[in-house]
Every structure is written in structure tokens, then in C-alpha cells.
Structure 1
Amino acid sequence: MPLRSLLLGLSVTVIWGFNFSFIKVAEDGFHPFLLATLRFVLTVIPAIFFFPRPKVPFKLVLAYGFVFGALQFGLLFAGIAAGLSAGLSSVVLQLQVFFTILLGVLLMKEHIKPWQIAGVVLGFSGVAVTGLVQDGSVTIAGLLLVAGAGLSWGLANVIVKKAKPADPVGFMVWASTVPVVPLAIVTVLVEGTDSVRTSFSHLSWGIAGAVLYLVYPTTLFGYSVWNGLLRRYPTSLVAPLTLLVPFFGMAGSMLIFGEELTVLKVLAACLMILGLCVNQFAGRFGAKPAPAAAPATEPAISVATLSDSAEHTGDGR
């Protein structure tokens, strides 16, 4: 991969990692469900006018939009609001990789490899260690909500694998229309209309900037660059960059909020990242070298490629 493309890929992982801290900043002015609603409204408008409707069954667009949008981001934003730090949220959300593997076995009859089982065990061990942190950066409610967001993302990944959209960014934009209504309804029921009006009437430049960060750098720029890299280069060169997202997530939380890096947090992050590395790389050892192939002309959809985002997407990815 040329240096310019590598730097672009690294810039996306930095953006997606810092995304978790900007969620926390934005929640100083917006209820988590209102914030999630705004994220999708701004993602859809004006992007939907530039992307044609994806050529996949509409029921899959609806399913993906609800699971990825309403469930994943609703639970992620709620988890951070409930007390899980931005840094640890970036780590725990990576459970989506392991949930994707397990759901692939249960729902799509895929075969799980021994090293994948080892990676799953390491990943969940990291989350278990996270639950032992007692410095105020972890709550059980926050931990469970973000783990639920990881489960939702894993289910969304399975839906994408079934849909196989030719244009993943356009698919994401159109699917982003789906969660707006359920998230708005939950916002009104949980928060009330008076609170919504107050949020907008007391909007500061800092909070507005954080909201815009969640939409434009994290979602539209991030996914455009990421999918461009997947079109030009083999998945094996692009997907491993997502392993850096938890690192930048922790770094962002330390820089912006002064989060303390304790021994238990380091251990939890190391177990999680080690599990991701085992899942990503262990199967290559001892494998016969494959013949050289030309770069893919369409983005590949796999467990590895789907582990990005930030948000997918970032985001948070």
C-alpha cells in the first residue's frame, strides 16, 4: 500500500478512535437518544441526494437500519451516558467482532476455527476485567449497554453479509433513514419535548462541533475513505488498521478528559486487542502462500472488514 493511502487509512482510525470522546462531549448538551437521532438526520441530509437507492431487498435495508442505527447507536450513546468512559467504550465495542463470528455460526452455519474460539475467549476476558475497574470510569449499566451495542453491531454485520451491497456507503446512507423515527419516539417518551427544546436553546459551539464531528469526519469522510481503500487494495492490508481504533479511543479519552490509565484498564485493553489479533492473523500461520491477485474492484465484505467502523462506522466506529 502506498504511503499516501496508508496515511489516509491511519487518519480514519484516529478519527474513529476520537469519536468516542466526542460522543461524551456532545452528551453534555443532548440526551443520548436525541443525539443519536441528530446523527442520523444529518447523515441522511444531504447525502441521500447523492446516492441512489441500493439495489438490495428493502427489508434488508430496514433490518440493517434498525439494528445498526436504532439499537447499536442508541445503546452505545446510552452506555457512555450511563458512566462507561469514552476510552473503555472504544475497547468494549470491539466485542462486535466476536459477536459477528458467533452469530455467523448460529445464523449462517459458518464454521468456527480453533484460533477464533481462542480470540473470542480473550476478547470476553478483556470485558470481564473491565468490570473490575473501580476508579469511577466504569458502571455495570454502562458496560452492559455498550456490550449490547457490540451485539447489535455483530447482528448488523450478518445482515450486511446477507445483503452484499455493491455500494456500502450508499447502503449506509439509505439505511440511516430508518432509525430516525424510532429514536425520535424514544427521545420524546424518555426525555420529553420540553427537554428537547431546552437542549437546542442552550446549544453551545463546542457541543455543536462535537455533533458535526460525529456526522462528517466520522461517518461520511471515514466511510468514503475506508471503502475507497477496500476497492483498491486487498482486505488483508486494510482491515488490520482497525486494531488501532481502541488505542486512539483510549488516547482521546486521556487527552480530552484526563482519564487515568490503570493496570486493570491496560490489561483489559491488551486482552481485547490480543483477541482481535488472534482472530485476524492466527489463521495465516502455516497456511500455504496464495497466488498474487489484482486489487479487488469492489469492496470485500467479511468479518474483518466489517469490524471497522465506525461507526460504522466508527461509529461510533
Structure 2
Amino acid sequence: MVHDHSMKARENPQRRGLIAGLLAALFFGLSAPLISVFSREGSPLMIAGLLYGGAAFGLLMVRGVVRQQQQESPVQRRDLPPLLGLTVLGGMVGPICLVQGLTLLSAGSASLLLNLEAAFTLLIAVLVGREHLSRRGLIAAGLILSGAVLLTESSLHGATLQGSLLIAGACLAWGIDNNLSQRLSLRDPLQIALLKAIGASGPMLLLALVAGGSLPAWPALVGLLVIGALGYGLSIWLDLLALRHLGAAREALVFSTAPFVGLLFSLLVLREPFTGAMAMAAAAMVLGVALLLKEDHSHWHRHQTLRHAHRHRHDPSGGDPHHSHGHPAADQGTGHLLQAYWHAHEHEHAPIEHEHPHVSDGHHRHGHSDRP
């Protein structure tokens, strides 16, 4: 019974990350075809600014609901450089490229092409971030990438090529953004998402107005704000939770379901035609996602001393040996009560060697060439 309880305690974070990632993918997947409906209502800069303005409003409402229920580690000064990078790349460059690309591609094609984000995120996470993927995981990434290539095979000239390159540029920006976000995933995800939304929307709206742009008519304005609140604000917050529990590489596989949501919406609601290229691309991508979902990673590994601050709780059964530390003397009166609940403070992890299923999250950034 103790063993089963320990296994469940270790599996719960990944399960939470999976649910959060799938919900993030659902909200974002619906946003791409919906944005295409309003893509000609203003400049790409204006539309991207409104989307992140809606994201900021949506996140402020979420904050009002969950703020008192969360105990998180706030953003610190040393987090500002990566926060600035993910705000510029993920909050400005990516959306502007996406909106401009949507004016040159059908909603269904653009939705499937968004799978490039997963490929870029995986490659950066493995090659730069030292996250680990098995041979099966790398094959799956190749299938997803080949599906994206199949999609654009008949679009290698003229304006369609330009649209494909713009979507690819947006995906590259978001791939870098995802890896930067993963490095900050132990901080308060709601705070990071809100800072990103405000930091991206303000400059873009100001530049759009200075350049002579004007706000779209109120139906389009309200529509873009609502799409931004759900497809960007809520989605970014949930995606940060997924990054915390899954790592950037595996978050990419979960989030790669987003384009399929957009594709189904464009086919069923917008009545766009389903081509043979889409069918072949979808088959390759579905197979890639299926392979990634079956990937399992477990081996004997060594943890070095690590000191950091993040949201955690203590498992009385010993199922989570990463958080078996005590609390400062000032907290002794309530420390035994706090340990059973989620709380955040700076703490130190002692060196430990053990074996259990894990992913490349904030506690498992070890290499794989130094196994004992």
C-alpha cells in the first residue's frame, strides 16, 4: 500500500501537467481559426496587441479567483532577462508573424503548420536545454516535422510561401519562448503570464496607434479581446503549469494537439476543404504524438545539492524525497501543519541517488552520460 501511494504521489505532478497542457492546447487551438476571421480588421501589430490586451484582462480575472488559493514563489530580479526574452519573442514577434501569416494561408493549413512549434521546442530543449528524449521521442519529433513539410509541399511559391514562412517564424519564436518559460516555471505562473501579457500588449498597441492605426469596430474589438483572454491569457497560464510538471520537450508533445483542434474547427465550422496533403500531414503528426505519449523514462540518477524557491508540499509517506526538508525555527509552531499543504519558500535539496519515473522538470535537469 505504501508503495502504491508513493507511486501515485510521483505520478500526480505529471498528471496535473498533462491536464493543464491539454487544456492550454484546446484554448490556443481554437484561437488560430478564430483570429483568421478578424485578421483583416486591422494591422497585425494592432490585432496582436489586442489579443494580449485581452490576455491581460483574462488573467486579472483569474488572479482575482485563485490568488488566495495559491502559494507561489514570486518573480525575482535575476528572472528579468529571460522574462524580457519570452515577452518579446512569444508575446510580440510570434503573434505578429501569426496574424500576418493567417492573411496569406487558409485557417486549416495554418493550424496544421503550427505543429512546427512542437518541433522547434523539442529541438531547442534537447540540443540546448539538455532535456532527454528517448529514440522513440526523437522519431516522433521527426514525424511531426515531416507532417509540416508535407503540408507546405504544394505551397512553395508566391504569397503562400510567404505565409508559411511567417507561421514558421512564429513557431520558432514560441519554441524559444517555451524553453525560456520552462526555466521560470518554478516561479508564480500567473504572475509570469500577466507580466508577459501586459509587457507585450502595451508596446504593440502604442506602436500601432503611433503608426496611424485605429481600433477595429466594436464587434471585432470584443471578439479579439475574448479570443485573447482564452486563447492567450488562460492558455499561457495553463501552459506554464504544464512546463513546470513536464519539461519543455514533453510539453511540446502535449501542446502539439492544439493545431488539430484548430483544423477540426476550420473544417466543421468554417467549412474549409480537407485536402489530401492535410490528410497525409495529419496522419504523420497523429502518429508522432501517439509515440511521444507512450514514451516512458526511468533510470537510476544522481541529484546534486540544489537550492531554490518554488511551490511544493511534503509527502508524509516519503513518496517525494525531494521535499523532506525542515522549516526555519520561526515556523516551528506551524511548520508541521504547513508541510501537508502547498506552500513556497527557499529550501535546499540534499544530494540523493534513486530511481523512479521522471521527466526533465526543475528537479531533473541531469545529464545521461554519468549514470553510476
TM-score by length of 2: 0.62
The whole-number CA distance in structure 2 between the counterparts of 1:12 and 1:107 is 25
Distance 1:280 1:160 in 2: 22
Residue-by-residue CA offset, 1:108-166 (whole Å, 9 max, x unaligned): 344553223312321221121111346x9x81111111111111111111112222343
Partner of 2:145: 124
Larger strand share, 1 or 2: 2
Computed over aligned residues only, the root mean square deviation of the Cα atoms, in angstroms, reads 4.0
Structure 2 counterpart of 1:276, which letter? V
The one-letter amino acid of 1:179's match is A
**1:214–1:53 CA distance, 2 compared to 1 (3 A):** farther
- Alignment CA distance shift 1:251-1:186 (3 Å): same
Residue type matched to 2:189 in 1?
Answer: P
- The structure with more helix, counted as a fraction of residues: 1
8 Å CA contact 1:20, 1:87 repeated in 2? no
Distance in 1 (alpha carbons) for counterparts of 2:241 and 2:176 = 24
Indicate the SS of the match to 1:145.
Answer: helix
Alignment match, 2:232? 219
Deviation at 1:280, TM superposition (A): 3.4
In the aligned structure 2, how far is the partner of 1:215 from the partner of 1:62?
20
Find the counterpart in structure 1 of residue 105 from structure 2: 84
Q: Aligned runs of 1:165-244 on 2, under 5 Å?
A: 165-180=186-201, 182-184=203-205, 187=208, 192-193=211-212, 196-197=213-214, 199-200=215-216, 203-205=217-219, 207-223=220-236, 242=255, 244=257
CA contact under 8 A between 1:26 and 1:208: conserved in structure 2?
no
Deviation at 1:223, TM superposition (A): 5.0
- In 2, Cα distance between equivalents of 1:60 and 1:37: 21
- Tell whether the 8 Å contact from 1:79 to 1:142 is kept in structure 2 after alignment: yes
Deviations 1:200-224 (A, max 9, x none): 3xx052x234202322222344455
Q: How far apart are the structure 2 equivalents of 1:7 and 1:59?
A: 29
- 1:94 pairs, out of 115, 118, 129, with 115
Unaligned runs of 5+ in 2: 1-11, 68-72, 300-317, 324-341, 344-357, 362-372
Aligned residue in 1 for 2:185: 164
Is 1:105 aligned with 2:121? no
Larger Rg: 2
The more displaced of 161-170 and 259-268 is: 161-170
Contact 1:23/1:214 (CA < 8 Å) preserved in 2?
A: yes
- Secondary structure of 1:178's counterpart equals helix
Superposed displacement of residue 87, structure 1: 2.0
The answer to whether the 8 Å contact 2:189/2:241 transfers is: no
Measured after TM superposition, the shift of residue 261 of structure 1 is 0.4
Larger relative CO (CA 8 A, sep 6+): 1 or 2? 1
Kindly indicate whether the alpha-carbon contact (under 8 Å) linking 2:33 and 2:111 is maintained by their aligned counterparts in 1. Answer: no
Cα distance change on mapping 1:301 and 1:29 into 2, 3 Å: farther
Alpha-carbon deviation of 1:48?
A: 5.4
TM-score normalized by the length of structure 1 = 0.72
What number of residue pairs does the alignment pair up? 281
Residues 25, 210 of structure 1: 8 Å contact kept: no
Are the counterparts in 2 of residues 37 and 184 from structure 1 also a CA contact under 8 Å?
Answer: yes
Greater Cα shift, 46-55 or 120-129: 46-55
- 1:152 aligned to 155, 164, 173, which one? 173
